[in-house]
Structure 1
Amino acid sequence: MGKAASIVCIGGANVDRKARLLTPFRLGTSHPVATTQTAGGVARNIAENLGRLGQAVSLVSTVGDDQDGQWLIDVTSRYVDSRHIVRTSKANTGMYTAVLDERGEMVLALADMAIYDTVGKEWIKQRWSELGPMTAVVLDANFPADILSWVIKQCRQEDVLLCVVTVSVPKTKRLPADLTGVTWLVTNEAEAMALAGNDHCSVHEAMETLLRSGAENVVVTRGANGVAYATKQGETGVIAAPKVAVTDATGAGDAFAAGFLYGVLGGYPLEAACRFGMSNAALTLQTAETVHPALNEYMLQAAYARYFREGGTKR
């Protein structure tokens, strides 16, 4: 018998440092803060969420040959097959530093991600051949454009389910204009508009543009305004967000992507999968961690029942 198929997450693995303001923010002056360090990176966060939800998951990423890199590998290995995380001496481990206001909302974020530019197409080709059977691929936009294009094309050729997560507005530029081969595009409102090439369009217009660009399903997270989705088959919908007390918004988008994948790969229809995503995001919003420290499948199913019971599950 061969190796069990796994979900392969390709993209960022960083150290997240968060400084939370203890007084209101004022430009040009020093502030008292409480600081924490957690493992981060969009692909890494999604992989850890999926691992905690009982999925077989591997992470393809690169970290520095430094203490931060070793710490990231150690922390991630508890839930994720980390054999495809490559260490390099060419750059420091990716670092994301967020300043949060006293309510936990982001004031400013600083990203040192030069490490991802040290790898190219040959690097990903070599990793790909070592991966074994895949259920699905999750690709974030942290790697250079040539890697993103190659993975999308490869998934299209091999008929592998592919979920692309956009990461940030500037990084949407790395994605190819042709999104054929992308099964699910998971993005937020600002990123969807940037990817559609129109900052003034509506969410629905942006989704239509992205479907025409080749994506099969587009899911747009809108924070407190919930989630909108559209499919090639003409299905569209908007789901209201459950009301929760926000402790810290960091990692909520990654939790959404993981909960969504847990749903679609578990055979649920798109709308129910979005609700699993929102349930997981709601859990993460209520913790100071980037990934909920007690997350498991039972907790997610219970959250789904709590927030969306009246909506039913499978159609």
Structure 2
Amino acid sequence: MDKQKDVLTIGRSSIDLYSQQVGADFVDIKGFDAFVGGSPLNIATGCSRLGLTCSLFTGVGQDKVGDFILNFLEKEKIDTSHVPRIPGARSSAVVLGIQPPDRFPLVYYRDNCADIQITIDHALQIAFEDYRLVEISATALSKEPSKSTVFFSVEKAYSENVPVVLDIDFRADQWHDVRAFGLNVRAILPKVKIAIGTEEEILAAMLKDQSQITIEHQQISAPKITGDVNQAIKSILETGVEVLLVKRGAQGVTVYTSKGEIIEVPGFPVEPLNVLGAGDAFASGFIYGYLQGWSLYKACRMGNASGAQVVLQSGCANFMPTLDESMDFIKSHGGF
């Protein structure tokens, strides 16, 4: 039977408040622009704008922020039938500063957040076999009941031969112990076909000592992590992952496969305004190319193009490119 839908993404959703004063120190911010966020929401939006049929599995509160998030998703033609309103919980929020070229501090408000309250009962309402691909965010493993729900969802997708993509998505302050992040990621990797992460996230997945992590200027999304990245890559592939995509910022992406292939995929040279969300844009572009049956190289170039366009903007999901915009961008920058 043909799959009825293209992509199901699972995990965080939030209202994101981005500083209106680009370059200002956080204490000098005078106002914020309200966008939506959360890695799985961003990826679903990027995929939808490229023409894929997408569903999001997350939770929102019975509050106005939940209304804000759902209104955006519906306008973006993203299926919200698996976005329950969670009684007694609040929709998530993130406050972000923008200080190019390399400081992007952020503060999460995720106490009693609704997206962590998705349950196995919610997951039982999903026909995983209808999807061509399931994408999950590792942050959704940080607390129960979301943790068990994601493991259950991955098990269901795996049993239906639906490929699972894992965004390693390391946010140190969301874990009671950063070593627990690696334990959970390593536990789920055997049922993951494609994993995506920065070098720091890949090191975090194999973390042995908390002293390996340093976070400066509250850059939760960009910690400094010491360790042997080549050994960490090897360890991830040994879990059964078929493809590991290592995001290297402006340098592009390096693809590692379980067959021993290493493919260097160059990025697109641009002057970034805001790098937050670039990885989610990459994932959406890559997923689009992957589901078109493109080579890993071409799919990653598509991902790099999405990321390069989003870093020129002050937000993420709200600025994901359309298919025509991406194709024009790629053509104007030398082609695939």
Candidates 230, 235, 240, aligned match of 2:261 = 235
1:120 equivalent to 2:142? Answer no
Aligned to 2:285: 259
Report the more deviating stretch, 226-235 or 65-74.
226-235
1:154, distance to aligned residue in structure 2 (A): 2.0
Contact 2:15 2:36 survives alignment (8 Å): yes
Aligned to 1:25: 25
Q: Which amino acid aligns with 2:73?
A: T
1:2, distance to aligned residue in structure 2 (A): 8.5
Which of structure 1's runs of 4+ aligned residues deviate more than 6 A?
none
1:303, distance to aligned residue in structure 2 (A): 2.0
Distance 1:9 1:117 in 2: 14
Aligned to 1:55: 52
Aligned to 2:192: 182
Report the more deviating stretch, 197-206 or 260-269.
197-206
- Over the matched positions of the two proteins, sequence identity in percent amounts to 22
Report the more deviating stretch, 53-62 or 220-229.
220-229
Give the match's secondary structure for 1:55. Answer: coil
Unaligned stretches of 5+ in structure 1? none
Give the match's secondary structure for 1:136. Answer: strand
Aligned to 2:250: 224
Give the match's secondary structure for 1:48. Answer: helix
Distance 2:267 2:2 in 1: 41
Contact 2:46 2:284 survives alignment (8 Å): yes
Distance 2:262 2:330 in 1: 21
1:146, distance to aligned residue in structure 2 (A): 1.7
1:75 equivalent to 2:72? Answer yes
Contact 1:22 1:34 survives alignment (8 Å): no
Candidates 226, 249, 254, aligned match of 2:275 = 249
Aligned to 2:330: 304
1:36, distance to aligned residue in structure 2 (A): 0.8
Distance 1:110 1:292 in 2: 19
Q: Aligned in 2, Cα 1:3/1:229: closer, same or farther, shift over 3 Å?
A: closer
Distance 1:239 1:113 in 2: 39
Can you list the C-alpha shifts for 1:128-154, whole angstroms capped at 9, x where unaligned?
Answer: 24x661111111123233223222222
Report the more deviating stretch, 104-113 or 232-241.
104-113
Q: Aligned in 2, Cα 1:121/1:308: closer, same or farther, shift over 3 Å?
A: farther
Aligned to 2:92: 94
Aligned to 2:295: 269
Q: Which amino acid aligns with 1:155?
A: A
Can you list the C-alpha shifts for 1:94-145, whole angstroms capped at 9, x where unaligned?
Answer: 1111122255840233342632332333332x2324x661111111123233
Contact 1:145 1:176 survives alignment (8 Å): no
Aligned to 2:10: 10
Distance 1:61 1:75 in 2: 14
Q: Aligned in 2, Cα 1:3/1:259: closer, same or farther, shift over 3 Å?
A: closer
Q: Aligned in 2, Cα 1:11/1:22: closer, same or farther, shift over 3 Å?
A: closer
Report matched runs for 1:285-296 at 5 Å: 285-291=311-317, 293=319, 295-296=321-322
Aligned length: 305
Distance 1:191 1:217 in 2: 16
1:24, distance to aligned residue in structure 2 (A): 5.1
Give the match's secondary structure for 1:229. Answer: strand
1:22, distance to aligned residue in structure 2 (A): 5.5
1:261, distance to aligned residue in structure 2 (A): 0.4
Give the match's secondary structure for 1:279. Answer: helix
Say what the alpha-carbon RMSD is for the aligned residues: 2.4
Contact 1:148 1:175 survives alignment (8 Å): no
Contact 2:54 2:79 survives alignment (8 Å): yes
Distance 1:35 1:95 in 2: 12
Q: Which amino acid aligns with 2:151?
A: S
Contact 1:139 1:148 survives alignment (8 Å): yes
Contact 2:166 2:194 survives alignment (8 Å): yes
Contact 2:170 2:204 survives alignment (8 Å): no
Can you list the C-alpha shifts for 1:275-302, whole angstroms capped at 9, x where unaligned?
Answer: 1111000010111231354721111122
Q: Which amino acid aligns with 1:273?
A: A
- TM-score by length of structure 2 reads 0.82
Report the more deviating stretch, 286-295 or 262-271.
286-295
1:20, distance to aligned residue in structure 2 (A): 4.8
Q: Which amino acid aligns with 2:136?
A: L
Distance 1:292 1:308 in 2: 26
Aligned to 2:239: 213
Q: Which amino acid aligns with 1:9?
A: T
